[in-house]
Structures are given as C-alpha cells and as structure tokens.
Amino acid sequence: MRTFQLIKVKAISHYERGVEYGEQAREKIRAGIEGYRKLFSDTSNMSWVDIKSYALSYIPVIEEVFPEIVEEVKGISAGAEVGLDEVMVLNCRYEITKFPHPNECTSFAVLPEAGKDGGTYIGQNWDYRAGIIDNIVVIHIEEQDGTRIFGLAEAGQVIRNGFNNHGIGLCANNLQSIYDSRGRGIPVTFLRRKVLSCRSFEEARKLIIDAKRSVSCNFMLASSEGKAVNLETYPGGTDFLMPVDGTVTHANHFVIRPEIHALETSPRGERLEQLLREKQGSIDIAHIKKCLCDHENYPKAICRHPSNVSIPLGIRDITVAGVIYDFNGGIAYVCAGPPCEGEFIAYEL
C-alpha cells in the first residue's frame, strides 16, 4: 500500500521549522526539483535559469505581506541543501505552469445540516501529473503560538491544502480566466500557508479576498463552526459560491462568471454535488470516500485516470491524492494515489 512520508516540524522560528522540513524531505525535494527541470525542458520556452530567476522575482512581493513564510522557504532550502531559487520554483509552480495549465482537483465542503451527527468536513481529490506522486508529503506543523496545521504538499512546498486546530480548513483547485497574466501577485501556495495560520473564518476569508493576484485560483474554505464558502478568485475580483442545504462543491471552471473562463468546463463539481446529496443529512466519512472513487464521465471523472497511457508518466494527469478533513474528530484521511486503488489513512491533527 502506497503512503506519503510524514513530516513533523515544531522548531521555535519559521526559519528553523523550514530547516526541519528540508532535512526530513531532502531526497523528495531534490527529486521534485529534477522532475520540474525535466518538465520545463520539455514543455516551456523558458530556460531553467530563466525559470529560477522568474520564481525568485516573487520574493519582494511576498516579503511585503508574508515575510515569515519567506523565512520558512529559506529554511527549507538550507535543510534540503538546494538553492533558494529551486525551492521557489516548487512554491511558484502554479504560476509558472499556468500557461497552459491542466485542470486540477475537485473540492467540497459538508456542513452540519448535511452531515451525519452534525459532522463538518472539507476535502478534495487532487488531480495533477502522475510523476509527482512519490514526492508528495503530509506535513504536521506546530507553530510557536500554539497553532497546529496538518496538510499535504509536494515536498518543498509550504503547503497545498489542510486544516488547523483553530477550526479552519482550506482546499483549492485551478482556475484560469481571460484576465490571467504573468504579473507579480502573491503565489497561491504562500497564500494557502498563511490562511492555514488563521484563527477565524472571517480572518481567513478576508485574507483570500484582499490578496494581490495576477492569476486565478479557486479556494474552498470551511470552519468547525459550520461555515463554508467557495471563493472564485481572479485578477480584479472574487465571486462567492455559498453552500446549498449544507454542501458546496467545485471543479475547474467559473460558476458565477462563466464568460471569463479560459479552460474547458468539467462535470466533476456537479457530479460530486449529486453524489453527496444521495445521503443528505447523513453524509459521513464512508460516503465521502465512496464519492471520491466515482468514475462517471471518464476521463473527466472525480477519480481521475489517464485516457492515454502512452503519455509519459511525468505529464500524465491522474488523481495523485484524495483527502478528507474531519473537523469534529480532528482527523485527516489521506489516500495516496487514486482513491479507487488505495486506502485512506487516518492522521490526528
């Protein structure tokens, strides 16, 4: 059974926590860097030197608002004994690979009125290139102020999705709008990491809305207080998709403003909503796991498998992980690879 490496960090400073992370995940970080070097060599008109320089150019923008997270990245670089520019490539890969960008992920939130015994959940199937599966890690972070965070990431990234002990959970998926550009906004990986340090739903919501952005991204935000909102963000604005009868789902197309969408639409969000509602009022972990294994609409299914196996593994799209965050139990359920083929492992927050 495939599982992801567990990384635990709890040093006092952001830099030292980054060092702890980098030391533990050193080999996977190096493998991830090499994987992207090869990917960009095959798919980008930019040289590796130019890509690293481009990633570094985001640091001044990030330091203006989240200097402590830049310190984490510097620590990761030191711990893994790799260049800061290379770690920045990992953390800016969403922006770098944006043009063009594959469809990624199906996310959801389930609130007490829809969940069994008042359960509240957030989660997603993470769809991306099959070549990264062996470089994914699960991270448990203890910050000096008592905040605990659990989440997933490609090794070397500060985080991708997760939840914290203040009852804040965040998942995200790709969006691409006609307004996206190669400008300099806050890279979404850094924004996700900051959101997962928040202590309240409103603080997290405001952080997402106010962030400077040059590319679009979808954020699924939920809290243990039984609140949730889906935020479709794009350069110049944010639109909100609210839960209906306690559930909300999203895939990779704009629901509120379809006219600004720049990618093909996907039926995955609507299909997941339909499946969740089959147990309206009694949705539990077992039912969510079943929903995340669904293959309807293949090859555009919730549980994603490549339709063309002749495509090289490094660029073949697949569900690389499934995750369910259970606020009531303080448990994360994580499946490495497509949920139909693996097992969800429970991790305590």
Q: Tens digits of per-residue pLDDT, 218-252?
A: 999 999 999 999 999 999 999 999 999 999 999 98
pLDDT at 45: 86
Residue 114 corresponds to which tokens in the numbers above?
């829809």
For a pLDDT cut of 70, what percent of the chain falls above it?
96
- Give mean pLDDT, residues 152-159: 99
> CB atoms < 10 A from the CB of 72, how many?
27
Residues 290 and 331: their CA atoms lie apart, in Å, by: 18
pLDDT band at 101 (very low <50, low <70, confident <90, very high): low
Q: Collapsing DSSP states into helix, strand and coil, what is residue 298?
A: coil
Q: Tens digits of per-residue pLDDT, 184-207?
A: 999 999 999 999 999 999 999 999
Quick one: residue 235, left, alpha or beta (phi over 0 = left, psi -120 to 50 = alpha)? beta
pLDDT score of 313 more than 80: no
pLDDT band at 261 (very low <50, low <70, confident <90, very high): confident
Residues 216 and 225: their CA atoms lie apart, in Å, by: 28
Residues 118 and 307: their CA atoms lie apart, in Å, by: 39
Which run of H or of E encompasses 137?
strand 136-142
Q: Which amino acid is at 12?
A: I
pLDDT at 22: 99
Could you tell me the CA-to-CA distances from 36 to 20, 134, 136, 322 in Å, in that order? 23, 14, 14, 22
- Exposure letters 265-290 (e unless 16+ CB within 10 A, then b): bbbbbebbbebbbebeeebebebbbe
Residues 161 and 174: their CA atoms lie apart, in Å, by: 13
Supply the angle between the helices 268-276 and 285-292 in degrees, to the nearest 10. 150
pLDDT at 310: 66
Cβ pair 338, 319 in contact under 8 A: yes
User: 86-95, 175-184, 265-274, 305-314 — which one is most confidently predicted on average?
Assistant: 86-95
DSSP E strands, 166-272: 168-174, 217-223, 227-234, 237-241, 247-250
Residues 89 and 2: their CA atoms lie apart, in Å, by: 26
pLDDT at 99: 59
pLDDT band at 263 (very low <50, low <70, confident <90, very high): confident
Please tell me the total number of residues recorded for the chain in this structure.
Answer: 349
pLDDT at 307: 66
pLDDT at 84: 99
pLDDT score of 281 more than 90: yes
pLDDT band at 102 (very low <50, low <70, confident <90, very high): low
pLDDT band at 331 (very low <50, low <70, confident <90, very high): very high
Out of 90-99, 248-257, 307-316, which region has the weakest mean confidence (pLDDT)?
A: 307-316
> Mean of the per-residue pLDDT values for the chain?
95
pLDDT at 306: 79
Residues 170 and 195: their CA atoms lie apart, in Å, by: 8
For a pLDDT cut of 90, what percent of the chain falls above it?
87
pLDDT at 266: 81
CA-based max dimension of the chain: 54
Give the residue among 333, 325, 315 at the shortest CA–CA distance from 43: 315
Out of 188-197, 211-220, 302-311, which region has the weakest mean confidence (pLDDT)?
A: 302-311
Residues 210 and 200: their CA atoms lie apart, in Å, by: 16
pLDDT band at 182 (very low <50, low <70, confident <90, very high): confident
Q: Tens digits of per-residue pLDDT, 12-50?
A: 999 999 999 999 999 999 999 999 999 988 888 899 999
Task: Put the strands of the sheet holding 148-154 in their side by side order.
Answer: 5-9, 136-142, 148-154, 161-164, 168-174, 217-223, 227-234, 237-241
pLDDT at 215: 96
Cβ pair 125, 322 in contact under 8 A: yes
Angle of CA points 5, 10, 14, to nearest 5°: 105
pLDDT at 314: 64
pLDDT at 100: 55
Which CATH entry fits the domain spanning 98-348: 3.60.60.10, 3.30.830.10, 3.40.50.720, 1.20.1070.10? 3.60.60.10
